Amino acid sequence: MRTCLNIIRWIIAFLLSILLFVFITVGIPLASITKITSNSDSLKQWLIKGNLYDSVSTISLEIYKENVNKSVTNGIKIDELDLLESFDKIFPSDWIKGNIEKVIDAFYLWFDGQTSAPEFTIPIEERKNVFIEESASMVLNLIDDMPVCSKGNDVLIMKGEKTPFDLNCKPSDFIKEKYIEDAKKSVEESLNQNEMLKSSEIKSNEYLKLDPSITINVQTVYKIYKIVPTIVMFGIGILSVLIFLFIPGFSNKFLNIGLVWVLAGSLQMIGIYFSNVSFDSFFTSQVSRLQGFDNEFVIDIVKRIVKAIVFDIQSQVRQYALVFVVLGIVFVIGGIILKFSKKRMYIVEENEDRNLPDENRKKPKDQRSEKVNPTLVSNNNIKNYHKEEAESSGVDVNLG
């Protein structure tokens, strides 16, 4: 009956061990991802490591080259260095970084239930003025490089039927200072056609009007999301305790749990190694599937950001895995020590039993007499044994 019960306990413990192994294998990466991504500072660092802020002007230039209306330049090549310089003035990296981080913080505060909606304000008045200045100056520089207009075109320009942005030739009386105000006015009118750009700042409450139910749902999910690492560790602890209770033999408990922890933690380490080796090829294969996403410069920025994300997650996984491997090794060593200690105690007890008479070996320890088997003790002990036996029988025996 006892043997049958032990078999059942081993079967249950084996199934729990498999479940613990799977739980650690899946739970460690999941806990790492949620721990890293639930912190707004992580997202900020990824954008910095991806060199996003310092690349905005270059990205703007790439977009301009791909999407600008070619007729505006009339075939005249615009100096890319001038464009980059203008983009840097319009959107300086510090301004972009500060406002993006402001938006990130606003959303995380909303996720965390501290606000009813993301709340942020982005001042744009100064950027608009710089944009107007740079755009007007750029267009006038283009006009200055165009061929001189015919008299008919000059008449249309003087009548105000053409703005500097409509020109495809240089007026005969062209002077930059004369046309600069018209150019600025044209840029400003173009910007004011966009409702968002009419005001001096962008306020989130004007554009992010969220239903209260959405806020409740998002904040509830985020609360659960934040405690995923705690849930994972709690689940691992519960499964380990159940295995400890079900496995027969004290040393077996430590050995089994320790081996599962070591194997699961080691698997995470191996996974990290192979993911590093195959990252570049995997990323390239995934990007190739995206239609229309072929700008090498943008792809490089995305790759750096993704690599930063993967590296941080791997670092967190490595920490968890290392803890389980170390604890697992401690448990395994403890189990081995306990097993050898138990075996040694068994040998000592077995030797003690051999020193007892045959009829005493079968009795429980508390019912055994102090008599020993004379054939297994020293000669001196034999003499003492017979003397004690004779004296107990009332016979005077000299063993001299």
Whole-number Å distance between alpha carbons of 297 and 281: 18
pTM above 0.75, yes or no: no
Q: Which helix (H) or strand (E) holds 143?
A: helix 125-144
> Residue 143 CB: number of other CB atoms within 10 A?
22
> Which residue is associated with the tokens 């698997």?
267
133 within domain boundaries: no
349 within domain boundaries: no
| pLDDT beyond 70 at 349 | no
Radius of gyration of the chain (CA): 41
Task: Specify the pLDDT at position 208.
Answer: 83
264 within domain boundaries: yes
Q: How many domains does the chain have?
A: 1
362 within domain boundaries: no
| pLDDT beyond 90 at 262 | yes
Per DSSP bridges, beta strands 121-123 and 201-203 are antiparallel
192 within domain boundaries: no
Give the structural domain span for 118.
2-124+199-341
pLDDT digits (tens, 9 = 90+) for 283-303: 777 776 765 556 677 788 888
pLDDT tier, 111 (very low <50, low <70, confident <90, very high otherwise): very high
161 within domain boundaries: no
394 within domain boundaries: no
The token pair at 28 is 């460690």
Whole-number Å distance between alpha carbons of 355 and 371: 9
Whole-number Å distance between alpha carbons of 157 and 160: 5
Stretch among 46-60, 223-237, 308-322 having the lowest mean pLDDT: 46-60
172 within domain boundaries: no
User: CB under 8 Å, gap of 24 or more: what pairs does 178-181 form?
Assistant: 179/140, 179/143, 180/136, 180/137, 180/140
